[in-house]
Amino acid sequence: MSVSEFLDSELFPYMVSIRRDLHQHPELGMHETRTAQVVARELEQMGLEVTTNVATTGVVGILSGSQPGRVVGLRADMDALPIQDAKIDCPYRSQTEGIMHACGHDGHVAMLLGVAKYLSERREQLQGTVKFFFQPAEEGPGGAESMIQEGVLDNPKVEAVFGAHLWNDLPVGKIGLHYGTHMAAVDQVRITVHGEAGHGASPHQAVDAIVAAAQAVTALQTVVSRQIDPVHPAVLSIGTINGGYRHNVIADKVEMTGTLRTLYPFTKQRIKERIEQVLSGITAAFGAKFDFELIRVYPATVNAESTTRLTEAVVTDLLGSDGLLIQTEPSMGSEDFSFFSQAVPGTFMYVGSKNPAKGFAHPHHHPNFDFDEDALGYGAAVMAESALRFLQQG
């Protein structure tokens, strides 16, 4: 296989067409109805066995080769974000007010459909089975775990899984790989500070929840910076704070939410304990009380040695050593591909999609986000060849 089979053939305009169609019609997590219909239609036209309405809007396609063998899974996420598309002059700009594909998931769907098309046309030479997972709601509330609970890794049982993310931190033509813990676990922080309401002119007769909450926010910044080993990465950020009723009423309740990112379970446990201690001390000092919840969102994404080694060889063979970037530092971002890689050996790769010369340099989740569509060819080629080599190992 070569990258040119994806960049210089009918597969490339096919992927671009799919991507632009989805970009114009973005849908939020668990509402990807039209997207799922497009995916199911394309897979059925390729002759795959298709199951819809998996974990609400997910789609699974099964491609069985002419010979029995191993089973490999390939995954793409489908959901968009509640962001207004600011690309005014873009011909494929989002047509849905307040929603856009600002993280490249439209490209992920297009890449995986390109892989499915390529492999389905070579069914007679295919040994084993490829399962294609088109997953809802990666941006939230999360669809991977629900798909797995509904049995997508069984019948036939998947032995390895590969996933990819278009990445505007890497130039187009590069593939980023990381061995071991690749992306952080993420937990949602919920804090409520309870005081006693009173008149703004008589603060001594009340317990000001806003003052207590403000002190807590400041103190929580020291949990990571001063109470966690610096070689154990962690991020604790308070993202929202809401409280009060009126300018002259002392608030009796403040609600805060935030995010905790960690790479190791023991770091998460330590931070959880320290948050509780900080909140306990500060609220006690003000005569207030608190409620605290740490809600698991996604576990850490861990790349298996075996599948990552295989993909490294694929990238080197297809793109040369210059096309491979072995990343030594993990990302504090998170991904619910983690549920797949917890269940079976898996590898999640970054597909370079940045090209400032063409104007594709904005970061993910930006209202002007876009990417160099040449990345679709590179990503699809690496995913297809990784799947083929895994099957051939049997």
Q: pLDDT tens across 329-342, in order?
A: 999 999 999 999 99
Whether pLDDT at 8 is above 80: yes
Percentage of the chain surpassing pLDDT 70? 100
User: H or E stretch including 110?
Assistant: helix 105-120
User: H or E stretch including 353?
Assistant: strand 346-354
Could you please report the per-residue DSSP string of 164-226? EEEEEEEETT-EEE--EEEE-EEEEEEEEEE-B-EETT-GGGSB-HHHHHHHHHHHHHHHHHH
Average pLDDT over the chain reads: 97
Q: pLDDT tens across 36-89, in order?
A: 999 999 999 999 999 999 999 999 999 999 999 999 999 999 999 999 999 999
Peptide bond into 330 cis (omega under 30): no
pLDDT grade, residue 1 (50/70/90)?
confident
Q: pLDDT tens across 274-317, in order?
A: 999 999 999 999 999 999 999 999 999 999 999 999 999 999 99
Mean pLDDT in residue range 146-164: 98
| pLDDT the model gives residue 288 | 98
Q: pLDDT tens across 232-250, in order?
A: 999 999 999 999 999 999 9
Mean pLDDT in residue range 376-383: 98
User: If you search the block for the tokens 């594709």, which residue do you land on?
Assistant: 360
Taking the CA atoms of the chain, what radius of gyration do you get in angstroms? 24
Q: pLDDT tens across 166-196, in order?
A: 999 999 999 999 999 999 999 999 999 999 9
| pLDDT the model gives residue 101 | 98
Question: What is the pTM for the complete model shown?
Answer: 0.93
Catalytic residues: 298, 373
| pLDDT the model gives residue 59 | 98
Q: pLDDT tens across 351-371, in order?
A: 999 999 999 999 999 999 999
DSSP 158: P
